[in-house]
Structure 1
């Protein structure tokens, strides 16, 4: 049971393996990158990691999160185009950076995908969702921390 996400939000996150991570780079410049997303039920948090063999720890998104831990993560899609039915979730929070441990974490939470050693955990502070617990244009926004 999550204290952060609703059942519909968790089901959606687990069904959508790709989203976008927004970080703040040097000089306050924004950076958005497509990344895989995973939910870690033990931590009740979002995990972002690179596939084994990549140098995720040297990536701009990892360096940005290390320097400026306030991040946002967005997953969205269209459930239908007729009628237009958008749905998605935005998680705003704090990124915790880890230089090691991704391999074991990937094995634990995915069972199949090997992670690179470095990884991020996003602790949600605010969750915004649409088209998940209500209508396609009904926004649900709440502070969770």
Structure 2
């Protein structure tokens, strides 16, 4: 069973940028914009970024300590009337050391796979100011 509705999947396919939230030992949140792809077969988000030689990204360092993450993709349907829509995904992350180059031009080899255990949206399948009821995996403790 998919945690994503058809409307959410369609929305995620059209967007290109989201925000990844992680935290390390201190618990202080770190949020970074990054590219992603929704894998429709496996129902996971593949997240990657440009590599920086000699330096591991902070979100990767955080995820080595704490594999829990959240990812938000959102936009405004119309301006200036402020009609928001978006999807929030929470779950566990797997770090992959190779293969990230296929996510986009200039992307580094390292990438992460966010396996959702909680999904929520607003303004996609309903009213922009009334979030849908979150869908959770049965084995999730979120």
TM-score, with structure 1 as normaliser:
0.84
Q: Are the equivalent residues in 2 in contact too, given 1:102–1:117 (CA < 8 A)?
A: yes
Secondary structure of the corresponding residue to residue 77 of structure 2: strand
Q: Are the equivalent residues in 2 in contact too, given 1:88–1:129 (CA < 8 A)?
A: yes
Cα-to-partner distance string for 1:48-81 (whole Å, 9 max, x where unaligned):
1123x54598101111112111100001111013
Q: Which residue is 2:59 aligned to?
A: 61
Q: Are the equivalent residues in 2 in contact too, given 1:75–1:89 (CA < 8 A)?
A: yes
Q: Are the equivalent residues in 2 in contact too, given 1:89–1:129 (CA < 8 A)?
A: yes
Secondary structure of the corresponding residue to residue 66 of structure 1: helix
1:142 aligns with 2:135: yes
Aligned length: 137
RMSD of aligned Cα (Å): 2.1
Which ranges of 4 or more aligned residues in structure 1 deviate by more than 6 Å?
A: none
TM-score, with structure 2 as normaliser:
0.85
Q: CA deviation at 1:42?
A: 3.2
Q: Which residue is 1:14 aligned to?
A: 13
Q: Are the equivalent residues in 2 in contact too, given 1:93–1:123 (CA < 8 A)?
A: yes
> Which of the pair is proportionally richer in helix?
1
